Amino acid sequence: GAVVSQHPSWVICKSGTSVKIECRSLDFQATTMFWYRQFPKQSLMLMATSNEGSKATYEQGVEKDKFLINHASLTLSTLTVTSAHPEDSSFYICSSGSGTSLPDTQYFGPGTRLTVL
Amino acid sequence: DQQVKQNSPSLSVQEGRISILNCDYTNSMFDYFLWYKKYPAEGPTFLISISSIKDKNEDGRFTVFLNKSAKHLSLHIVPSQPGDSAVYFCAASPGGGADGLTFGKGTHLIIQP
């Protein structure tokens, strides 16, 4: 299957700072990327859907001004957690797909563990 | 309100026997269902999927059954192997690749030697 990478794999930051997480599709062009968040022993929750060149669509309850998503190219999407607080500590996972094919072709990245002190 | 439910947080099965993981859903708009395997601190790995027009899909040791009237699906793994020990997530989609997935909470499968 396709390869999706995330960087960094883990990050620790102070409360009030901003953190940027990168998601790259390494061997195909991803017109759509999805961002998920997973709290311990919980399911992966879809946060937002980003399409290359357009604004991201956020799920209900997700603050778009806090979680800034940029999908400037077909191989890169970034999630910036602004003014991070301890409750933002979570495992953030991206996935990429072609946008028109079946859900099987959503390839997940390895995730980023964010810890906010 | 959880739209995809996996009611068993964990399941222990002896090596060589059949593992059956269950999943229920409530949203009638879901048209496509997927199973993922996940290890801690890693992203999910796709295992097998099924469209709502089918009631069974098989791939090697993995078979997924869908009972649309009961809004229930199950993943059968036979024979179970030690390497199958992981958390298994059931996910659902309205059908298109442009839609995000709705996940259950996962079932931790433990294969006993």
Instruction: Tell me the pLDDT tens digit for each residue of A75-94.
Output: 899 999 999 999 999 999 99
Out of A9, A43, A102, whose CB is closest to B103?
A: A43
Q: Answer whether B98 sits within 8 Å of A105, measured CB to CB.
A: no
CB contact under 8 A, B96 and A111: no
A103 vs chain B: nearest CA distance in angstroms?
Answer: 4
pLDDT at A101 over 70: no
Longest alpha-carbon distance in chain A? 40
Contact A106/B42, CB-based, under 8 Å? no
Whether A49 contacts A55, CB under 8 Å? no
Q: How far is A60 from chain B (nearest CA, A)?
A: 13
Query: What's the confidence (pLDDT) of residue B12?
Result: 98
Q: Give the pLDDT of residue A102.
A: 67
CB pairs under 8 A between A and B: 82
**Total Cβ atoms within 10 A of residue A50:** 26
Please report the pLDDT score of residue B59 as a whole number: 96
User: In the predicted model, is pLDDT for residue B82 greater than 60?
Assistant: yes
- pLDDT value at position A26? 86
Closest CA–CA distance from residue A17 to any residue of chain B (Å): 23
Terminal-to-terminal C-alpha distance of chain A: 36
Name the helix (H) or strand (E) containing A47.
strand A44-51
Task: Give the pLDDT confidence of B4-56 residue by residue, as tens digits.
Answer: 999 999 999 999 999 999 999 999 999 999 999 999 888 999 999 999 999 99
- Residue A97: predicted pLDDT: 74
Mean pLDDT of chain B, nearest integer: 94
Interface membership of B59 toward A (CB under 8 Å): no
DSSP reduced 3-state for A38:
strand
The string of pLDDT tens digits covering residues A29-67 is 778 899 999 988 889 999 999 888 888 999 999 999 999
* Res B107: pLDDT: 97
CA dihedral over B67, B73, B74, B75, signed as positive or negative: positive
First-last CA distance in chain B? 37
Strands A90-97 vs A19-25: parallel, antiparallel or unpaired? unpaired
CA distances from A54 to A33, A69, A77, B14, B64 (A): 12, 10, 12, 50, 36
